[in-house]
Structure 1
Amino acid sequence: MTDLSLSVDRIIKAPRKAVFEAWLSPEMLKKFMLPGPDMSVPSANTDPREGGRFEIIMKPESGEIPHAGTYREISPHDRIVFTWESPYSVDDSTVTLDFADADGGTHLKLTHVRFLSEETRDNHEAGWGRILVALVDTLAEENA
């Protein structure tokens, strides 16, 4: 089932540069990489260059869920592509973020490909949706 994919779009009322840079900043990732309720991100590290790695620890009510990946493409303010490594992903699972100007802000399209099953795809789709809502809230707070 690794050919499964998902796509989530949001209009974010923030400049494209700010939305783009949020995805490369450990401090910002800690604030918005929250795919579920009652989660936190106690640790996030990035080496934001093509070939660089990132690591994010997501903490639900109990335990920790490590996430990591390699940046495959970083095209300033237009696109970020990275691998997605977690206990729930398959080899070569990849996330693409496309950024475009939109009325009053930035259109962000997130595409994630390769999943173990329809269930893991659906769970990731819900998680990415919550992450994008948290990103919107975080950027609004930063610009307030």
Structure 2
Amino acid sequence: MTATEKDLTLTVERVIDASPETLFDAWLDPEMMKRFICPGDTTVPSAFSDAHEGGRFEVMMRVDGKDLPHTGTYKLIDRPNRLVFTWESHASRDDSEVTLTFTPAPGGTLVTLTQVRFLGEDQRDGHRKGWTSILEKLATVA
């Protein structure tokens, strides 16, 4: 692994017309997770969340009829300000980590999502597209 691969990060942001509490809670509620953690044409037939620091989650994404688990461990749960979890999938490194912050802003809440450590630029760019779609969907269901 090169230093460049180790240092790859992405950040996406969106202002959503909902409170920080509502948006924060959506990331921990399996029924809500199924409604928005599904980029593009992906569906989520099942989601699970053991929402405490050290707890695990799973989002089973179905893409073209194939189930792809996306799992992780909650590292920090600071409601309604900050949520940190690992991100484990077929397209990410084992030590990839996602940080979400929820900041009151004109028009609602500024949601900032940062993911660190990728296999390469293609995976980072694919995740950027996915996370952008996820935040767009969150705005429609929150």
Q: Same fold (TM over 0.5)?
A: yes
1:65 to 60, 64, 68: 68
- Alpha-carbon distance, 1:91 to partner: 1.9
CA distance in 1, matches of 2:72, 2:10: 18
Cα deviation 1:11-68 (Å, max 9, x = unaligned): 000011000000000000000011122x110010001110000011000122111010
Contact 1:30 1:41 in 2 (8 A): yes
User: Is the partner of 1:91 in helix, strand or coil?
Assistant: coil
The residue type equivalent to 1:127 in the other structure is: G
Residue 95 (1) aligns with residue 98 (2): yes
CA distance in 1, matches of 2:7, 2:40: 25
Residue 28 (1) aligns with residue 32 (2): yes
Structure 2 partner of 1:54: 57
Structure 2 partner of 1:74: 77
2:137 to 124, 130, 134: 134
CA distance in 1, matches of 2:140, 2:25: 15
CA distance in 1, matches of 2:64, 2:136: 20
Name the Cα RMSD after superposition: 0.7
User: Is the partner of 2:7 in helix, strand or coil?
Assistant: coil
- Alpha-carbon distance, 1:104 to partner: 2.4
The residue type equivalent to 2:17 in the other structure is: K
Cα deviation 1:67-114 (Å, max 9, x = unaligned): 100000000100000000001111210000011101121110000000
Identity of paired residues, percent? 51
Structure 2 partner of 1:14: 18
Structure 1 portions without partners, runs of 5+: 140-144
CA distance in 1, matches of 2:123, 2:107: 34
User: Is the partner of 1:111 in helix, strand or coil?
Assistant: strand
Runs of 4+ in 1 over 2 A off after TM superposition: none
CA distance in 2, matches of 1:117, 1:36: 21
- Alpha-carbon distance, 1:2 to partner: 2.5
- Alpha-carbon distance, 1:3 to partner: 1.5
Q: How many residues align?
A: 138
The residue type equivalent to 1:19 in the other structure is: L
